[in-house]
Structure 1
Amino acid sequence: MKTILHKATTRGHAHHGWLESWHTFSFAGYHDEQRVHFGALRVLNDDSVAPGMGFGRHPHDNMEIISIPLEGDLEHSDNMGNTAVIRQGDVQVMSAGTGIAHSEKNANSDKPVKFLQIWVFPKERNVKPRYDQKSFPLEARRNRLQNVVAPVGADADGVQIHQDAWFHLGQLDAGTSLEYALKDPANGLYVFVLKGDLYVNEVLLNQRDGLGVSAVDAVSLKAEADAEVLLMEVPLA
């Protein structure tokens, strides 16, 4: 087993007044040659946007972009005619492909919106842009792993992306143990702890710590305290 540990306090940090962002991997003004990506996982941003504020319309291409709200409501609009508000329990995906332009803002005037913005390299370039979102019941991830992202064409519950990647969310009570078997042993698994304390095999992770694991068929998870976790299985090459 190979591992790479990213403690929460070692992440890149940007504070723009209306936006506070923590970068697990190099992004914008933060660059670390040792932390550019983990296989197909290119960006893992932990964002907080002030009430009523947001990102104006801007373009993307050839990237699978996943947004996972943690608190509050995030309003989305794009040049394909999609407008939506995503909330805790929702997962949104944009396959940027040949090009897409979108805007995001805090839909609330009285509280921040906190969400994860995740970018995954696609396995095929210049696909037709697409948008999707889905609501996942929070109770269905209690002491189990809930599939929220899956490859296009997979017989799975998650929203679909153009990559052989699988994301799962879990809420584990203290003392709960689970095992995650990789869909493909050649893939890597990036574990990101949203809340609490969690053992991944013998490695203890705390809130907002990340751990990349490779050269394994499966990993064991054990909640040292009540914990919420995001698992991202991605190709390494």
Structure 2
Amino acid sequence: METKTKTTVLHKAETRGDANHGWLQSKHSFSFANYYNPERMNFGVLRVLNDDTVAAGMGFGKHPHSDMEIISIPLEGDLKHMDSTGRSEIIKQGDVQVMSAGSGIQHSEMNANREKQVKFLQIWVMPNKGGVTPRYQQITLEEGARHNKLQQILSPNANDEGVWIHQDAWFHLGKLEKNTELEYQVKKAGNGVYAFVIEGNVTINGQSLNKRDGYGLWDIENIEITADSKAEVLLMEVPMNIK
């Protein structure tokens, strides 16, 4: 079921696009590859939110990107990243990685383990400037910093908490015990917030959400979050106007 009102959009987990390639199982919150839904092209500048599971020893071979901010958040297992700059990194659960494709880069993302699968969120954000020099950044997050609160993991500012991208966007993670109540203040007027429930059940501004549901809100100044069970949630604040 998908419902729309003037200032919200609800994407239930079971309504996402589904791709099963054997080695890769992917759920698409927005149109991607062979999944096309004209009502689900993006949420503002948030263009892709893929929930990927990659089989042991498998992965995405080298392929090109340009003018896109690509964020990877491992949920289970380890990813091996390689790119055309010669960089090779392992991205583990608890890390966050960003690659600004800019003027053009080729990369691969492989399951670093031959014994177990890897699960990760792949997120694409349209940048506010094109043709930038490609860049890569990876950090390890302090898990305690999101216990019953919102931990900033991404922003537009290189000197701020988390990784940074070429866009007026802020991402936060919260790992919440049941009955925890939090308020999130929108950082920039005109931005919207897309919430993605990684685990558990939460209520956001009166809307009940379950595991892997997505809920977008705009024309707001803040949102209220209540954990209806032990839960983990990702908030992605992004500009709604695509330039």
Q: Would you say the 8 A contact 1:152–1:163 is kept in 2?
A: no
In 1: Cα distance, 2:15 partner to 2:234 partner? 19
Q: Which residue of 1 aligns with 2:178?
A: 174
Equivalent position to 1:217, from 221, 225, 229: 221
1:116-151 deviation digits (Å, cap 9, x = unpaired): 000000000000100010000111110010111110
Matched, 1:116 2:116: no
Equivalent position to 1:52, from 52, 57, 62: 57
* AA partner of residue 120 (structure 1): V
Structure 1 residue runs of 4 or more that deviate by more than 2 Å after TM superposition: none
In 1: Cα distance, 2:150 partner to 2:160 partner? 13
Where do residues 1-237 of structure 1 align in structure 2 (5 Å cutoff)? 2-153=7-158, 155-237=159-241
In 1: Cα distance, 2:35 partner to 2:134 partner? 28
1:89-110 deviation digits (Å, cap 9, x = unpaired): 1000000000000011001111
In 2: Cα distance, 1:24 partner to 1:157 partner? 27
1:156-186 deviation digits (Å, cap 9, x = unpaired): 2110100000000000100000000000131
In 2: Cα distance, 1:151 partner to 1:128 partner? 16
In 1: Cα distance, 2:26 partner to 2:200 partner? 20
Q: Which residue of 1 aligns with 2:3?
A: none
* AA partner of residue 113 (structure 1): V
Q: Would you say the 8 A contact 1:166–1:233 is kept in 2?
A: yes
* AA partner of residue 227 (structure 1): A
Percent identity, aligned pairs only?
Answer: 58
* AA partner of residue 191 (structure 1): A
1:180-209 deviation digits (Å, cap 9, x = unpaired): 000013100000000000000100000000
| Structure 1 gaps, min length 5 | none
User: After alignment, is 7-16 or 134-143 more displaced?
Assistant: 134-143
User: Could you say what secondary structure the match of 1:139 adopts?
Assistant: helix
| Structure 2 gaps, min length 5 | 1-5
**Aligned residues between the structures:** 236
In 2: Cα distance, 1:34 partner to 1:9 partner? 16
Q: Would you say the 8 A contact 1:38–1:212 is kept in 2?
A: yes
Q: Would you say the 8 A contact 1:91–1:135 is kept in 2?
A: yes
